[in-house]
Amino acid sequence: MLKLDAAKKLITRCESVYGGVLTPATDIASSGNVVSQYAVPENQLKYVHMYFAKYVGCWITIRSRLGNELPTHVTSIGAGPALCALGWYWRDLTRGLNNSLRMYDALTWDGVRSLPEWQTLFDSVYAGSSSFFGAYYAPGNISVPPQLHGALVKPIEAAALGEGGVVLMPYLMNHLLGREGPIMDAGERSALFAWIEEIRSKNIVVISDMRVQSDTHWFWKRISDGLGVPSSECNLNFGVAVVEMAEAYCNPAQQRRRTGPDWFREAGVLVGDRSGWSWLT
């Protein structure tokens, strides 16, 4: 309950930027759902309000499927405001001081992470050392994705991530490969997948992204082909964990909007280790 109480305070703080009017029209439009928009502190708070239940619920479910017997050194690439990390550790039974968490993102997310409510929630969920690196995004041998609109970002070198850990890639691939169509040429895609495979050769890699369905088929086929994984129509359903996050929203109408049956409940999830890749369902 302490975690949900802390989450409720953070969500309530985020609602303050809506001016009391919380409707689909006041959300960040998906057509403008690009990294540059999230540099605005107000939009960072809207992002947390919109996606808290989705991302925390998704990564609670992924972690529960994989179990607790996992490396304690975790890296999150495309970490955002650490919602996936909150989900990863939400049910962590160890609360171990051996935990080590590194988070990389193109932005610093200071609009959220500087809030005392965010820090209280983070501390209630995670125990261990943590560090956040802003202005990092992708391997250095591919073009900066257009979503960054000229932002200065440093490459993340696979060798710098070490070995024997878990590397999370939460909804990173759609920014790199494109949401609605390809934005990389074949050479850049090859370099991207070589980077991922280098990381997988030394770590467990977890890729979570848009649900597998007809309008995302091209997206997942590029990933499947690039990683040598058979295509799949399977998704991970994380609806139960999303509903558990409903208490974070004080307003019943917002509970229904952010955790109801019409909200996000499924994702495509690939897990890779030294033995290969598999779909998580």
Output the 3-class SS for the chain.
Answer: CHHHHHHHHHHHHHHHHHCCCCCHHHCCCHHHCCHHHHHCHHHHHHHHHHHHHHHHHHHHHHHHHHCCCCCCEEEEECCCCCHHHHHHHHCCCCCCCCCEEEEECCCCCHHHHCCHHHHHHHHHHCCCEEEEECCECCCCCCCCCHHHCCCCCECCCHHHHCCCCEEEEECCHHHHHCCCCCCCCHHHHHHHHHHHHHHHCCCEEEEEECCCCHHHHHHHHHHHHHHCCCCCCCCEECHHHHHHHHHHCCCHHHHHHHHCCCCCCEEEEEEEECCEEEECC
pLDDT of 117 reads 97
pLDDT of 185 reads 81
pLDDT of 179 reads 63
In the CATH scheme, what architecture does the domain 2-279 have? 3-Layer(aba) Sandwich (3.40)
Q: For the chain, give every domain's residue range.
A: 2-279
pLDDT of 155 reads 87
Average pLDDT per 10 consecutive residues for the chain, totaling 281 residues: 92 86 75 72 92 96 91 94 96 77 93 96 94 85 66 84 96 80 78 95 96 88 93 92 94 87 91 96 86
